[in-house]
Amino acid sequence: MDDLGLLGFENSSDLFKKLQYDYERLKKEKNNMNYMNFIICAYHLKDWINYDTRFNKHERRKMINKLYKNNLNLFKDMTNRGKHYKLIMPRATITKDEFKKGFSWTNFKWSEFTWRPCEYLVEQDGKIINLDEECERIFSTYKEIFESINIK
- Domain spans of the chain? 12-149
Does pLDDT of 73 surpass 50? yes
| In the chain, % of residues over pLDDT 90 | 55
**What dihedral do alpha carbons 60, 62, 63, 69 form, nearest 10°?**
140
Q: Please, which residues bridge with residue 128 across strands? A: 123
pTM for this entry: 0.73
Q: Where are the alpha helices (DSSP H) in the chain?
A: 12-28, 32-50, 57-69, 72-79, 131-149
Query: Which has more confidence, 107 or 126?
Result: 126
* Residue 96 confidence (pLDDT): 46
Residue 110 — pLDDT band, cuts 50, 70, 90? low
Mean pLDDT over 6-23 rounds to 90
Radius of gyration of the chain from Cα atoms?
Answer: 20
